[in-house]
Amino acid sequence: MAVTYTTILTAAALALLSGTAHSHMIMNTPTPYNLHGSAKLLQVDPLGPSYPFPCQGLTDAVSAATPLTAGASQLVNFTGGAQHGGGSCQFSLTYEYPPPADKTKWKTIYTLIGGCPVSAVGNLPKTGTDQDSRADALHCGNDSGTECIRQFDVPIPKALPNGNATFAWTWFNKIGDREVYMNCAPVSITGGADEKGFFEALPQMFLANVPGECTTGGGVLNIPNPGKYGKVLEQPAPGSEGSCPKAEGVPVFENGGSSSSPPPSESLVVIPITSTGAATSSSASLVVIPITTPLSTAASGFVTQTTTDVAAPVPTATAGSGSGSGSGSSGSQPCSANGAIVCFSPTSFGLCANGAAIPQPVAAGTTCTSGQIVRRSAKFVFW
């Protein structure tokens, strides 16, 4: 029989499916229910009739609950061989046990739009398996690498109630069938509040792609009602909501509630788009930035982010005097998310554009750290 081009493509597709159909993703940190040593193991499959909402129906704690400190952050890591190019994720909590099937009892503390748990073209090459034969791939060791499995430090809000809870990861994959994945972990929260007012006011977990719920579209999902805390790691795809409620624009998130971050009144985020043609005027004017100011529209030549209304004298001189040719560091650096800040050092940064960031000096009195340019003790937001 002659081997045709169609035959080759069909065989390749079947091989791809057979190699990835049972090798999706799980959350491995914090330690989920039924991860190891249980008669019914945690599966890498999406939610469905065999693995129902919530938590695949699994609630056997085979290890001690993971301690969470309110006001700190929790490392979240993953295992898996089919990452579907990434997607959007949420991290949620419930204080009821067993974890309730009523989705309104689950409250979201952090949302990632795109880039979770990977930023990749498709599925990564398999590198091995865990002790229960779940496939795995290359790990980034950070939250910004590409073509590798990322890990995230999820802020645990300071005002969360103390007590035993269940921490959940939900994932809406970027490419492939319209699915939702969910793993849950027992946790114990300390250092927080003695009442549930803050928790009850959080948005409920978004749920789709299971019987009785809406169905998302393709690409990076713009999760509706994502809450105040999170990050936009990739731009959402038009029509990604499918038959679900449409989000009101790309979200602008506040700080994740970690006590380690500066309060809004003392933070400054300044991202020069260009450092050429510095102005010489020292005149000043008043500028008011509302809380809803999106990241890219606050002022010509600058991208800003703030969490409070502010008014202050704003000099007209351009931040920095470098030419963007690398005076703070030598050479450009690869990056993935357009518009993201890349810190070359505390005194130099680059703005990701078309896969590369070119170093340039930060504005006087600011430093680049953890993907932000920050100035403390300032009541204004940009020059």
pLDDT digits (tens, 9 = 90+) for 153-177: 999 999 999 999 999 999 999 999 9
Residues 40, 58: contact at Cβ < 8 Å?
Answer: yes
| Biggest CA-to-CA distance, the chain | 81
Q: What is the pLDDT of residue 318?
A: 32
How far is it, in rounded angstroms, from Cα 307 to Cα 155? 17
How far apart are the C-alpha atoms of 172 and 100, rounded to whole Å? 20
pLDDT of residue 249: 94
Pairing status of strand 152-155 against strand 135-137: unpaired
> Residue 361 burial (CB < 10 Å; 0-12/13-18/19+)?
buried
pLDDT at 364: 76
Q: Would you say 111 and 152 are in contact if contact means Cβ atoms under 8 Å apart?
A: no
312: CB partners within 8 A, 6+ apart: 286, 287, 379, 380
Residues 6+ apart with CB under 8 A from 26: 32, 35, 42, 43, 44, 78, 79, 80, 134, 183
Angle at 371 between CA 367 and CA 375, to 5 degrees: 30
Per-residue b or e along 268-291, where b marks 16 or more CB atoms closer than 10 Å to that residue's CB: bbbbbeebeeeeeeeeeeebebee
Contact 187, 68 (CB under 8 A): yes
Q: Which position has the token pair 């609950």?
A: 65
Count of helix runs (H) and strand runs (E) in the chain:
2, 22
Phi/psi for 226 (5° steps) reads -80, -10
Residue with tokens 């009523």: 102
pTM assigned to the model: 0.64
Which stretches of the chain score pLDDT less than 50? 1-22, 256-330, 376-383
Query: What does the radius of gyration of the chain's CA atoms come to, in whole angstroms?
Result: 23
- The Cα–Cα gap between 292 and 249 comes to 11
pLDDT digits (tens, 9 = 90+) for 295-310: 333 333 333 333 333 3
- The residue type found at 189 is I
Instruction: Note the pLDDT of residue 331.
Output: 62
> How many CB atoms sit inside 10 A of residue 5's CB?
7
Peptide bond just before 117 cis, omega within 30 deg: yes
Closest CA to 232 of 339, 106, 107, 153: 339
The residue type found at 239 is: G
